[in-house]
Amino acid sequence: MNATNGTPAPRLEGLDIFRGITVAMMILVNTPGSDRIWWPLDHAEWHGFTPTDLIFPAFLCAMGVALGLSFPRKVDAALWKRVAWRTFALIAIGWAWQLLVRPDLANLRFFGVFPRLGLCYGLTATIAILTARRDAGGRAHLRWQALAGAAAATLLFYWTAMALGGDFTPEGNLAGWVDRTLVGTQHIWRHGKDAAGNIVYDPEGLFSTIPALANVLLGILAAMAWKRDPERALRWIAVAGIALIAIGLAMAPWFPINKKLWTSSFALLTSGLSGLLLVISVLAVRAPAIRTALAPFRVFGMNAILGYILSLLIGLAGMRLGFQAWGFSRLQGWVGDPWLASFLYALAITMIVLAILLPLHRRGIHLRL
């Protein structure tokens, strides 16, 4: 990786730890032993915020940081092919997963975690490339003004559209209406229901992907700060993170913090928190003892997509083959508390995924899309 002045860019070593923490937490919250879930490990019902609500936007931020670290680079057909392939691959993985869970094309869920990852990657990479300045050698150099402007524009547009186009209820919000109109209720999240039981919204729908772009764009800006001045970047990122948190909280009375709508206030709050966690991760790896203790998260972080896919497959197998119910029952018999037993089951799945990834990591085998 080359910095803008032609010298090697310092590696942001804490990025793998930061991304690994988000993946480990994804696995932990997605594979409980039962429906007995402690509130910090569950999403907010509607308006509000829990620690679990930070996981997905933090992963998007990590995606942005990685994208930012890959510049400057030559813009050619190979680069556009790479962007298109990664976008398509992420969306295809999501659709393949949906068909595995429910092999029913007529009711295939078009949206979800992987499609949102693909769209966010493809769109932000395109924005970054098209707004970059070119040097004499045809290499693209990111422009922070353009990226910051794009992030602000997506958040302001989404806020305005949502405020003028409906209300912020499950059945009355514009994002849900757009998704229902474009693909129909049979192709959106079947649990996104209103009080009457009608399917009305998708938490990873198409329209609510617009503000999620800001999480990625702000991650790119963090990478740019790091590459420009690694010694001062952590201070800049921390200050920016605190400012974003404050703006998100200040906006909340008018545009509530809501993960399922991915409101602009939610995007700002989670981008700020992600920035602070990134700073903490970078600082943590500078202490040898802490770095050693965090090594498992580096394994998750360097094989994030594979780790998440493995957890989904294990979770599905557990439900269909019955070992989830069996494992939960055994754990509850040992500890007594059903909430603790459910958590311990999820922790066990997380450790199983780590055990699968570890030998691959030692051999340098990492899934790269």
Partners of 134 in beta bridges: 140
Contacts with 264 (C-beta within 8 Å, 6 or more apart), sequence order? 155, 156, 158, 159, 211, 214, 248, 251, 255
Contacts with 277 (C-beta within 8 Å, 6 or more apart), sequence order? 18, 21, 58
Q: What share of the chain is helix, strand, coil (3-state, %, to 5)?
A: 70, 5, 30
Nearest 5°: CA angle at 294, between 292 and 300? 125
Predicted confidence band of residue 3 (pLDDT cuts 50, 70, 90): very low
| 8 A C-beta contact, residue 121 and residue 63 | yes
CB atoms within 10 A of CB 51: 14
The pLDDT of residue 127 is 97
Residues 53-68: what's their mean pLDDT?
97
Asked if residue 369 has pLDDT above 80, the reply is no
Residues 78-99: what's their mean pLDDT?
96
The mean predicted confidence, pLDDT, of the chain is 93
Residues 53-82: what's their mean pLDDT?
94
| 8 A C-beta contact, residue 240 and residue 275 | yes
DSSP state of 74: E
Predicted confidence band of residue 4 (pLDDT cuts 50, 70, 90): very low
The pLDDT of residue 7 is 39
Per-residue pLDDT reduced to its tens digit, 105-161? 999 999 999 999 999 999 999 999 999 999 888 899 999 999 999 999 999 999 999
Q: Whole-angstrom Cα distance, residue 69 to residue 234? A: 15
The pLDDT of residue 11 is 54
Per-residue pLDDT reduced to its tens digit, 293-333? 999 999 999 999 999 999 999 999 999 999 999 999 999 99
Angstrom distances, CA of residue 232 to CA of 224, 236, 308, 346? 12, 7, 33, 39
Residues 203-232: what's their mean pLDDT?
95
3-state secondary structure of 8: strand
Could you tell me how many residues make up the chain?
369
The pLDDT of residue 180 is 96
Above pLDDT 70, what percent of the chain? Answer: 97
Task: Please indicate, yes or no, whether the overall pTM of this predicted structure exceeds 0.75.
Answer: yes
Asked if residue 26 has pLDDT above 90, the reply is yes
Per-residue pLDDT reduced to its tens digit, 158-198? 999 999 999 999 999 999 999 999 999 999 999 999 999 99
The pLDDT of residue 365 is 86
Asked if residue 8 has pLDDT above 50, the reply is no
> SS3 string of 215-257?
HHHHHHHHHHHHHHCHHHHHHHHHHHHHHHHHHHHHHCCCCCC
Asked if residue 5 has pLDDT above 50, the reply is no
The CB-side HSE value for 65 (13 A sphere, CA atoms) comes to: 27
Asked if residue 66 has pLDDT above 90, the reply is yes
Angstrom distances, CA of residue 204 to CA of 177, 286, 366? 13, 36, 27
Per-residue pLDDT reduced to its tens digit, 241-292? 999 999 999 999 999 999 999 999 999 999 999 999 999 999 999 999 999 9
